[in-house]
Structure 1
Amino acid sequence: MSRILNTLSGRFLLLTVAFVMLAEVLIFVPSIARFRLDYLQLRLEKAQIASLALLANDGMITPELEQELLNNAGVFNVVLRRDEVRQLVLSSEIPQPVAATFDLRMDGSFELIRDALAVLATPEDRIIRVIGNPVQQAGLLIEITLREGPLRTEMYDYGLRILFLSALISVITAAMLFLAVRRLLVVPIRRVVRHMQAYASAPEDARYVITPTARVVELRDAEEALQRMQTDLIAAFRQKERLAQLGGAVAKISHDLRNILTSAQLFADRIEQSADPAVARSAPKLVNSITRAVNLCESTLAFGKAEEHPPRLARFALRPMLEDVADGEGLSAQSEPACLIDTAPGLVVRADAEQLYRVVANLVRNARQAIDATGRGGTIEISAGEDETAWWIRVGDTGPGLPPKARDNLFRAFQGSARKGGAGLGLAIAAELVRGHGGQLDLVRSDEEGTEFLIRLPRAGGLDAEEMVG
Structure 2
Amino acid sequence: MRGPEARPRFGLSLRLLALTLVFVLLAEALVFLPAIGRARVVYLEQRLAEAHLALLALEATEDGMVDGDLQRRLLGHAGAVAMTAYQSGFFRLRLGPDMPPRVDAAYDLREVGLWPPVGDALMVLTRSQPRLIRVAGISPKDPRVAVEVTLPEAPLRRDLMRFARRLLGLSLIVSLIAGAVVYFSLARLLLKPLSRLVAAMRRFEAAPEDPGRLHTPSTARHEVGEAERTLARMQARVREGLIEHARLAGVGAAVARINHDLKGILTTARLESDRLEAQTRDRDPDLARTTEGIAQALDRAVALCAATLSYAGSELPSARPRRLAAHHELTLAAQRLHQAHPEIAVNLDCAVDTTLSADPDLLARSLDNLTHNAAQAGARHLTLAAHTSNHQTTLTIADDGPGLPQRARDNLFQPFAGSARNGGTGLGLPIARELTQAMNGHLNLHQTTPSGTTFHLTLPT
Give the TM-score category using the shorter length.
Answer: 0.7 to 0.9
- Secondary structure class of the residue paired with 1:141: strand
Pick the aligned partner of 1:132 from 133, 138, 148: 138
Residue 203 of structure 1 contacts residue 234 of structure 1 at CA under 8 Å; is this kept in 2?
yes
Letter in 1 for 2:451: E
Letter in 1 for 2:371: V
Give deviations 1:45-92, integer Å, cap 9, x for gaps. Answer: 322332333333444643211211111111123334567888333223
Letter in 1 for 2:372: R
Is 1:322 aligned with 2:311? no
Is 1:206 aligned with 2:211? yes
Call closer, same or farther: CA 1:20–1:337 in 2, change over 3 Å.
closer
Residue 198 of structure 1 contacts residue 208 of structure 1 at CA under 8 Å; is this kept in 2?
yes
Cα distance, 1:27 vs structure 2: 1.2
Call closer, same or farther: CA 1:328–1:141 in 2, change over 3 Å.
same
Cα distance, 1:108 vs structure 2: 4.5
Residue 188 of structure 1 contacts residue 214 of structure 1 at CA under 8 Å; is this kept in 2?
no
Residue 398 of structure 1 contacts residue 451 of structure 1 at CA under 8 Å; is this kept in 2?
yes
Q: How far apart are the structure 2 equivalents of 1:338 and 1:50? A: 112
Unpaired segments ≥5 residues, structure 2: 1-6
* 414-423 or 88-97: bigger deviation: 88-97
Is 1:197 aligned with 2:202? yes
Show the counterpart of 1:456: 458
Show the counterpart of 2:374: 367
Give deviations 1:10-64, integer Å, cap 9, x for gaps. Answer: 1112212211221122111221122122212222232233233333344464321
Unpaired segments ≥5 residues, structure 1: 373-377, 460-470
1:25-424 equivalences in 2 (<5 Å): 25-58=29-62, 59=64, 61-81=66-86, 87-92=92-97, 96-110=101-115, 112-113=117-118, 115-117=120-122, 119-120=124-125, 125-135=131-141, 137=142, 140-213=145-218, 215=220, 217-269=222-274, 272=277, 273=280, 279-280=287-288, 282-313=290-321, 317-318=328-329, 321-322=332-333, 324-331=335-342, 336-341=343-348, 351-371=358-378, 378-384=380-386, 389-424=391-426
Cα distance, 1:330 vs structure 2: 4.2
Call closer, same or farther: CA 1:86–1:187 in 2, change over 3 Å.
closer
Letter in 2 for 1:328: Q
* 354-363 or 316-325: bigger deviation: 316-325
* 270-279 or 34-43: bigger deviation: 270-279
Q: How far apart are the structure 2 equivalents of 1:177 and 1:350? A: 48
Q: How far apart are the structure 1 equivalents of 2:389 and 2:146? A: 81
Show the counterpart of 2:4: none
Letter in 2 for 1:326: L
Letter in 1 for 2:391: T
| Aligned-residue CA RMSD (Å) | 3.3
- Secondary structure class of the residue paired with 1:371: coil
Give deviations 1:348-399, integer Å, cap 9, x for gaps. Answer: 7664444333333322322222227xxxxx3233445666734554333222
Q: How far apart are the structure 2 equivalents of 1:113 and 1:40? A: 14
Q: How far apart are the structure 2 equivalents of 1:243 and 1:436? A: 22
Show the counterpart of 2:437: 435
Letter in 1 for 2:375: R
Cα distance, 1:294 vs structure 2: 2.9
Cα distance, 1:250 vs structure 2: 2.3
Q: Identity over the aligned pairs, expressed in percent?
A: 37
Letter in 2 for 1:420: N
Residue 82 of structure 2 contacts residue 95 of structure 2 at CA under 8 Å; is this kept in 1?
yes
- TM (normalized to structure 1)? 0.82
Residue 271 of structure 1 contacts residue 279 of structure 1 at CA under 8 Å; is this kept in 2?
no
Q: How far apart are the structure 2 equivalents of 1:453 and 1:85? A: 97
